[in-house]
């Protein structure tokens, strides 16, 4: 279990996050959702260990990791731009981290992961020969071969659309389930958060506005901000769909 206790972060005297208290269970998929600038990425970076916290404590499986440096936490992140190596092929990208630490994953485990992510026929391709969804799958595989104790994803679906987005959602769910891996996802898109996660944490102005199951958030928004943020965003999407297909389209389900 990952636990944050009264975490605070300020930049240049300006408080970005305050009174952050939360517990995330093993194997849970949690989305951090909120408007631009509310502190989502800062929260992800604090958990990862890239950014130091100013006050409070972080625990992982009961161990105080507040002072543990990033490389020793064993949490891995997939960045928004995937950060793949253009000069290496797909297989070389996936196995890059194993060069210095070959004992982490066996060949069989790497092959299983490649199969789970449907990358078998792309292994010899260069990165610039891949689609956005394929790049995202390579980035996921490269991170997963290092057996992270927590998987952090920064806007994993924002560069993708339609069917590809749904397929990546399925892969993320499959990975979390197969490896019983705690997965924390930053997104600004309520639809993404509500359809992908076990629980959604809505952040507003540096504080947790609500943290709950998607159904509970939709049915019982904890306050006016949550209600407006979720419902407005979903309404905008619904209106866009109606504008494209007409209000007569009977099967449109946004949530
Ligand atoms: N290294 C930094 N130095 C100073 N201020 C920072 C730094 N990193 C982030 N901030 C500020 O902290 C606030 C929260 O930023 P953060 O990137 O966490 O927001 P976000 O919710 O992820 O936004 P977005 O959805 O636009 O990426 C912003 O006002 C930002 O300008």
ipTM of predicted assembly, 2 dp: 0.97
Q: For residues 115 and 107, is the Cβ–Cβ distance under 8 A?
A: no
180 Cα: distance to centroid of ligand 1 (angstroms): 30
252 Cα: distance to centroid of ligand 1 (angstroms): 35
Question: Ligand 1 pocket test: which of 7, 17, 39 has the largest number of ligand atoms within 8 Å of its C-beta?
Answer: 39
Q: What is the pTM for the complete model shown?
A: 0.88
186 Cα: distance to centroid of ligand 1 (angstroms): 13
Distance CA 157, CA 190 (A): 12
Atom of ligand 1 nearest to the CA of 186: 22
pLDDT tens digits, residue range 230-248?
A: 877 766 665 554 554 454 4
Bridge partners (DSSP) of residue 8 are 55
Distance CA 138, CA 76 (A): 14
pLDDT tens digits, residue range 187-232?
A: 988 888 999 999 999 999 889 999 999 999 988 899 999 998 887 7
Average pLDDT in the 101-105 region?
Answer: 92
Which of the 8 DSSP states describes residue 189?
Answer: -
Distance CA 199, CA 23 (A): 11
Question: Ligand 1 pocket test: which of 7, 13, 40, 156 has the largest number of ligand atoms within 8 Å of its C-beta?
Answer: 40
Atom of ligand 1 nearest to the CA of 12: 4
pLDDT tens digits, residue range 145-188?
A: 999 999 999 998 887 877 888 888 988 998 899 889 999 999 98
Class at the top of the CATH hierarchy for domain 2-214: alpha beta
């Amino acid at each position: 279990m990952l636990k944050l206790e009264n975490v605070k972060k300020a930049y240049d005297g300006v408080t970005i996050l305050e009174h952050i208290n939360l517990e995330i269970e093993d194997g849970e998929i949690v989305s951090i959702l909120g408007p631009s600038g509310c502190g989502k990425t800062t929260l992800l970076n604090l958990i990862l260990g890239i950014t130091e916290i100013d006050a409070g404590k972080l625990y992982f499986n009961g161990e105080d990791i507040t002072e543990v440096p990033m490389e020793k936490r064993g949490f891995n992140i997939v960045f928004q731009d995937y950060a793949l190596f253009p000069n290496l092929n797909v297989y070389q990208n996936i196995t890059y981290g194993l060069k210095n630490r070959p004992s982490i994953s066996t060949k069989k485990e790497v092959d299983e992961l490649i199969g789970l992510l449907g990358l078998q026929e792309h292994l010899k391709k260069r990165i610039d020969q891949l689609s956005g969804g394929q790049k995202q799958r390579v980035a996921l595989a490269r991170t997963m071969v290092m057996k992270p104790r927590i998987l952090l994803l920064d806007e994993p679906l924002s560069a993708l659309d339609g069917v590809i987005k749904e397929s990546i959602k399925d892969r993320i769910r499959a990975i979390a389930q197969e490896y019983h891996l705690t997965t924390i996802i930053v997104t600004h898109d309520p639809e993404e958060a509500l359809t992908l996660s076990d629980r959604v944490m809505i952040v507003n102005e540096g504080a947790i506005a609500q943290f709950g199951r998607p159904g509970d958030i939709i049915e019982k928004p904890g306050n006016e901000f949550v209600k407006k943020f979720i419902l407005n965003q979903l309404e905008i999407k619904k209106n866009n769909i109606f504008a494209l297909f007409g209000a007569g389209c009977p099967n449109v389900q946004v949530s």
